[in-house]
Structure 1
Amino acid sequence: MKLARVYYKYIFFSLSAGEMPGVSVAKDSDTEEDGEENDENEQDEEPDEPKEPKIRETPEDIKFEAIVNTVAFHPTRDILAAGDLDGDIYVHSYSCVEGGNKELWSSGHHLKSCREVAFSHDGEKLFSISKDKSVHIMDVEGGKLVKRISKAHSDPINSMLLIDENLFATGDDSGTLKVWDLRRGTAFMEMKQHEEYISGMAIDHDKKILLTTSGDGTMGVFNIKRRRFDLLSEFQNGDLTSVAIMKRGKKVACGSSEGMIYLFNWDGFGATSDRFAVKAESVDSIIPITDSILCAASTDGVIRAINLLPNRVIGSVGQHVGEPIEQIAKSYDGHFLASCAHDQKVKFWDISSLSAITVSDYRRRKKKGGNLKSLSKKAFGGGDDFFSGLIEETEIKKPEEKEEEEEDSDSGSD
């Protein structure tokens, strides 16, 4: 009996410890309930849903390894091309979705600095010019080099203008203008009327009158239909850096290294009809936004929106803080302006609201030293880009601060 009691004690102890082989030990009810609750909690915890991509007002900046000299938008797609100081060309797709910018391809065919890029009117080809005196034509889809004109000029090429699907013009550092016909593969017009580099070109709606600006301070007028030179304007102070046709073809605006905008009447190219100071170090690149409003980029790093007749600096579109801007371009849909500068970045600016701006013939007298009005969230204080100490100008005034209105003294006529 004593042995039996010892045996039963051994069985009881073994069952409690769960050590007997082949015998399942039941869990107590509390442990089972805890396990069920844990299983239910695991089922209730769903995996985290992917976060929706952040939508920005403008695409993100594109950073490059060298200073970007030139930038151009595709005529129908969200694609941008840029050429840099090393002679490399990059083509990116751009998007307002954060992280949406993507490099599509790049080209290193130029031996020296790439000075201008431009998409063909159908968007299938990309043209580029370089300090190495060559013209390259590439396929937009894959970046394949389609045509190379290795010695297009005797001097480095500085500017280019695509006229139509067959014709384009180039201007070099010595002041020589050439107009090319792709069907022939050669230049059918070559003239040297400027004493300095050709900085910019524009052509009228009829593709007949080609205008050039030069470092010699003059604007050149060429009739490409009749293949002749018409005239040079009078000399202006400083270099003429850029040119744009405004007011439905009735006016021509030229930027200047002296920070001036010069206006010419159409068919009155010999002398300026008006001029006004932008209060910028130099107006290096201008682009029409509407018939009356243009954007002007300067070496002080600021992009200004300017109304013509009445002549008024409307405000700031954006800036590269303390960095000279080389060129600006407008997107095909008119929503964005792109700018490239010495900070090795291409930046995007929202200009969609500029087309709705109307400028009165009367203006309020501003306090001396007043700041530029900010025309976008990223200009002068919004987002990541800002000038320290510059505050957006406000239209709200204290009652005691009365402002006098004066008639606009701008000269010139529409």
Structure 2
Amino acid sequence: MCVLLQDVDEEPHKVKEEDEEQNENGADSSGDGEAEEVDDEEAKEPKIRDTPEDIQFDAIVNTLAFHPKQDIIAAGDIDGDIYLYSYSCTEGETKELWSSGHHLKSCRKVAFSQDGCNLFSVAKDKAVHIMDVEAGKLIKRIPKAHSVPINALLLVDENVLATGDDDGTLKVWDMRKGTSIMDLKHHEDFISEIAVDSAKRILLTSSGDGTMGVFNIKRRRFDLLSEFQSGDLLTVSIVKRGRKVICGSSDGTIYIFNWDGFGATSDRFFVQAESLDCIVPITDSLVCTASMDGVIRAINILPNRVVGCVGQHKGEPIEEIARSHDSRFLASSAHDQLVKFWDIGRLSELEVSDYRKRKKKHGKLTSLSKKAVGSGDNFFSGLLDEPNAPTKDSTKEEDEDDDDDDSDSGSD
């Protein structure tokens, strides 16, 4: 019995020793596992980008608009669908918030209300829609706002909306009543864009008939049309603290008007671009332009200079560009079905002198961002021009390069 009891007593001691060894080994292995998990977490830390990631769509995006207060962008495509995205420089955090298919045909323009609560849109189906931004639901619809497709949209204030159609008709709406208070046709072709002065008194329209229209909202009347220009006027913007108005045209020319001198241009500036389809002011003098050649150019107005390239959709016509609420990013949409973001945070620092420095033959545009054409390292290269006394050789070179300059300007 003693021997039996001794054998029985030894077994538990053996098991106990094995358990202790397993616990020690388990502790070591679990420690290794925790270390591996920490390493994995560090390895999976989200990457911070200079700009948000590109957004891929299933169809060409015609129109873009940034939320006035939040990092949100709206897009409307040729199928009539509207998308709302939150964007971020943290990789993987740009996400779709909602989409809407209420328009029956191509969405032409989207715009946020001043408080960012509502999203307005117009389309080829002749309708005006108002969406709730938070819920993504249609809250109001004007089904036959125009008799032909609507092409242009501008929110004058929280209660007044202006729309322009393919036939050249301008309508101004009182959204409290849902009825138009102005219905005027003075253009012979489509209205491409609408702008308003800071006093909310004068509406300006650019048109495919080559004229700029001037309308008085307060008196609800038409004032005048500008002289006919050589190309279709595709965009209109107010610059120089309200003292100048510029229009981009289909022939690549920027037409400049004095305020209160809308009848004739005061200056014109030819840009070597296939067209100037969209213009977005960045500062009082600096604007960004989009073109059919797929290049986004930064251009200074008076003195007239092509400063450089902000970005590009290689070989794809650009439909629209828009500036973010904090002026940090420019977004662009093109026929490649992408919405791209470009860093414009430093554009406001640019200064352009009156001295004109001739470019060398076949000179490329200065790259103004890391993603733009070129290396992006020469951001301020050639922008702060210092007038040096020209030598005989340099004078000869300037004469030879005169015809190859990237841009030219002249006064009417």
Shared fold (TM-score greater than 0.5)? Answer: yes
Amino acid at match of 2:183: E
Match of 1:99 in 2: 92
Q: Structure 1 residue 355 and structure 2 residue 348: aligned?
A: yes
Instruction: Kindly indicate which of the two structures has a greater share of residues assigned to helix.
Output: 2
Q: State how 1:128-167 maps to structure 2 within 5 Å.
A: 128-167=121-160
2:268/2:409 contact within 8 Å kept: no
Match of 1:247 in 2: 240
Structure 2 counterpart of 1:173, from 159, 166, 175: 166
Q: Structure 1 residue 334 and structure 2 residue 334: aligned?
A: no
Deviation, structure 1 residue 299? 0.4
Separation (CA, whole Å) in 2 of partners of 1:347 and 1:132 = 27
Deviation, structure 1 residue 44? 3.8
Q: Structure 1 residue 288 and structure 2 residue 281: aligned?
A: yes
Separation (CA, whole Å) in 2 of partners of 1:251 and 1:241 = 17
Deviation, structure 1 residue 144? 1.1
Amino acid at match of 1:285: C
Match of 1:234 in 2: 227
Match of 1:373 in 2: 366
Q: Structure 1 residue 364 and structure 2 residue 357: aligned?
A: yes
Q: State how 1:20-99 maps to structure 2 within 5 Å.
A: 24=11, 38-39=25-26, 41-45=28-32, 46-47=34-35, 48-49=37-38, 50=41, 51-99=44-92
C-alpha distance after superposition, 1:87-115 (max 9, x if no partner): 00000111110011111111100000000
Counting matched residue pairs gives 384
2:249/2:277 contact within 8 Å kept: yes
Change (3 A) 1:403 1:58: farther
Structure 2 counterpart of 1:209, from 195, 202, 214: 202
C-alpha distance after superposition, 1:30-66 (max 9, x if no partner): x999978744642442242223211111110111110
Separation (CA, whole Å) in 1 of partners of 2:72 and 2:137 = 17
- Aligned CA-pair RMSD: 2.9
- Secondary structure of 1:118's aligned partner: strand
Change (3 A) 1:59 1:279: same
- Secondary structure of 2:277's aligned partner: strand
Q: Percent identity?
A: 67
Match of 2:309 in 1: 316
Q: Structure 1 residue 125 and structure 2 residue 118: aligned?
A: yes
| Structure 1 segments (4+ residues) deviating >2 Å | 20-27, 31-41, 46-49, 391-395, 402-413
- Secondary structure of 1:123's aligned partner: coil
1:372/1:393 contact within 8 Å kept: no
Deviation, structure 1 residue 278? 1.1
TM-score (norm: length of structure 1): 0.86
Deviation, structure 1 residue 365? 1.4
2:332/2:340 contact within 8 Å kept: yes
- Secondary structure of 2:171's aligned partner: strand
Query: 5+ unaligned residues in a row in structure 1: which ranges?
Result: 1-19, 384-390
2:245/2:257 contact within 8 Å kept: yes
- Secondary structure of 2:348's aligned partner: helix
Deviation, structure 1 residue 202? 0.4
Match of 1:269 in 2: 262
Amino acid at match of 2:165: D
Deviation, structure 1 residue 143? 1.1
TM-score (norm: length of structure 2): 0.86
1:60/1:96 contact within 8 Å kept: yes
- Secondary structure of 1:362's aligned partner: coil
* Structure with the greater alpha carbon radius of gyration: 1
Separation (CA, whole Å) in 2 of partners of 1:309 and 1:393 = 19
Deviation, structure 1 residue 363? 2.6
Structure 1 counterpart of 2:249, from 251, 256, 275: 256
Separation (CA, whole Å) in 1 of partners of 2:375 and 2:134 = 36
